[in-house]
């Protein structure tokens, strides 16, 4: 990368990373054995307040296993947001189940009101809640804490209880996000549903290269997750397998990096918030631009900074601003293509999608690396202001 350029979100490797990884190389414990996997699990559980944590090869794998442990079976349906990275939707399909796409609310998160409307239209049967339109059983809700902003979990959990559904929180983007008010005051995202899943992909707030973590309050489910993610060995010497498992374990080497990264997380969270404030002040007063806010009663990890562009007022649309910033060496990103419009999911049910398309047209995500300096963030603000003045 050129030093002139400002990337969207890159890893920030520092602290004890090399020390811990070198110890893996020096001892030869780079794979299954070692001790860093357990340390990483314990440290993440301690930080988030999760009762149990199971390291996995990546967030997608964690979501797949969490859904399986929820009892999602082929032909079942799972309610997912259409506005999200495609991984949680694919995880539903890996199990032979079908996504039903939901709209988002004002923070781009799963809309609990519309989700409630959809569920009210389902039929309660002895085999569970049934989608009248498809005849399939609705088994779970999979909210994603988009860009780090916590979903309205009070409303979502109330729906889950009312309709007998399981909840998997996709917290892959929201490590460090928590509630400061309400029923879940003090709780971290990922620790409220039946399962939560974090990601340590290279663009996340902490990284292990690739990697993930499944958390749950249920001790038996945590043990089952460990069993399934390590090839379901019922006898480790004779290789007896009573279930179909997965090769989803995280290496000791990556876990060593994870431990070092978690040590830096409190400082990274401070930087993320500080840069949000820089952007907030730096972009204030530019007509037609709004930095997406924070849901009331939450302290997010500020993973991504989403700028909402009103083309009519600002004079340039999202594509135009993205191109102008790219010319200045500043990398930005639109939100993902909506999943109900992706080719593999065009046949799936999408329930009254309206707001997701509105955001999809207008949002541009600004550089957010934890190595981004105040000067760097100010440079981005100046570049945006320059476009506005032009």
Residues of this chain that bind a copy of itself (CB under 8 A): 10-13, 17-18, 21-22, 25-26, 28-33, 57-61, 85-87, 90, 93-94, 96, 201-203, 207-210, 231, 235, 237-247, 249-254, 257, 333-334, 336-337, 342-344, 371
Q: Smaller CB distance to a copy of itself: residue 155 or 371? A: 371
Nearest distance, CB of residue 135 and a copy of itself, angstroms: 20
Nearest distance, CB of residue 326 and a copy of itself, angstroms: 10
Q: Smaller CB distance to a copy of itself: residue 26 or 132? A: 26
C-beta separation of 104 from 358 below 8 A: no
Nearest distance, CB of residue 12 and a copy of itself, angstroms: 7
* Three-state DSSP state, 245: coil
Question: Could you tell me which of 160, 169, 238 has the C-alpha nearest to residue 197?
Answer: 169
Question: Could you tell me which of 298, 273, 301 has the C-alpha nearest to residue 205?
Answer: 301
Nearest distance, CB of residue 219 and a copy of itself, angstroms: 24
Q: Smaller CB distance to a copy of itself: residue 138 or 250? A: 250
Nearest distance, CB of residue 68 and a copy of itself, angstroms: 12
Q: What is the C-alpha to C-alpha distance for residues 71 and 74, in angstroms, rounded to an integer?
A: 10
Q: Smaller CB distance to a copy of itself: residue 252 or 298? A: 252
Q: Where are the alpha helices (DSSP H) in 215-369?
A: 219-229, 252-283, 311-314, 318-327, 355-362
Q: Smaller CB distance to a copy of itself: residue 239 or 312? A: 239
Q: What is the C-alpha to C-alpha distance for residues 205 and 353, in angstroms, rounded to an integer?
A: 30
CA distances to 212, 275, 301, 307, 337 from 207, rounded to whole Å, are 9, 19, 15, 25, 24
């Amino acid at each position: 990368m050129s030093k002139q350029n400002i990337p969207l979100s890159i890893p920030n490797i520092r602290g004890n990373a090399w020390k811990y990884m070198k110890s893996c190389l020096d001892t030869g414990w780079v794979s299954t054995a070692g001790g860093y996997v357990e340390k990483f699990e314990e440290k993440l559980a301690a930080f988030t307040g999760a009762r149990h944590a199971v390291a996995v090869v990546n967030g997608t794998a964690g979501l797949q296993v969490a859904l399986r442990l929820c009892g999602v079976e082929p032909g079942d349906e799972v309610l997912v947001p259409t506005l999200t990275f495609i991984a949680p939707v694919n995880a539903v399909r890996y199990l032979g189940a079908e996504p039903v796409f939901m709209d988002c609310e004002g923070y781009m998160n799963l809309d609990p009101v519309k989700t409630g409307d959809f569920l009210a239209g389902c039929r309660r049967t002895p085999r569970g809640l049934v989608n009248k339109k498809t005849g399939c059983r609705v088994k779970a809700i999979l909210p994603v804490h988009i860009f780090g902003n916590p979903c309205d979990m009070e409303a979502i959990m109330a729906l889950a209880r009312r309709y007998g559904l399981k909840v998997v929180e996709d917290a892959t983007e929201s490590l460090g996000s928590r509630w400061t008010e309400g029923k879940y005051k003090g709780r971290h995202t990922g620790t409220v549903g039946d399962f939560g899943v974090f990601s340590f992909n290279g663009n996340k707030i902490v990284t292990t290269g690739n990697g993930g973590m499944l958390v749950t309050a249920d001790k038996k489910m945590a043990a089952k997750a460990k069993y399934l993610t390590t090839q379901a060995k019922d006898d480790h010497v004779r290789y007896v397998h009573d279930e179909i498992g997965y090769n989803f374990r995280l290496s000791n080497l990556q876990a060593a990096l994870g431990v070092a990264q978690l040590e830096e997380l409190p400082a990274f969270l401070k930087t993320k918030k500080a840069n949000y404030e820089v952007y907030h002040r730096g972009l204030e007063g530019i007509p037609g631009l709004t930095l997406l806010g924070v849901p009331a009663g939450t302290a997010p990890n500020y993973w991504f900074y989403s700028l909402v562009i009103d083309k009519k007022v600002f004079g340039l649309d999202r594509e135009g601003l993205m191109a102008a910033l790219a010319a200045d060496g500043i990398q930005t990103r639109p939100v993902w293509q909506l999943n109900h419009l992706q080719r593999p999911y065009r046949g799936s049910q999408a329930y009254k999608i309206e707001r997701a398309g509105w955001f999809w047209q207008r949002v541009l995500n600004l550089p957010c690396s934890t190595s981004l300096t105040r000067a760097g963030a100010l440079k981005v603000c100046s570049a945006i202001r320059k476009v506005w003045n032009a």
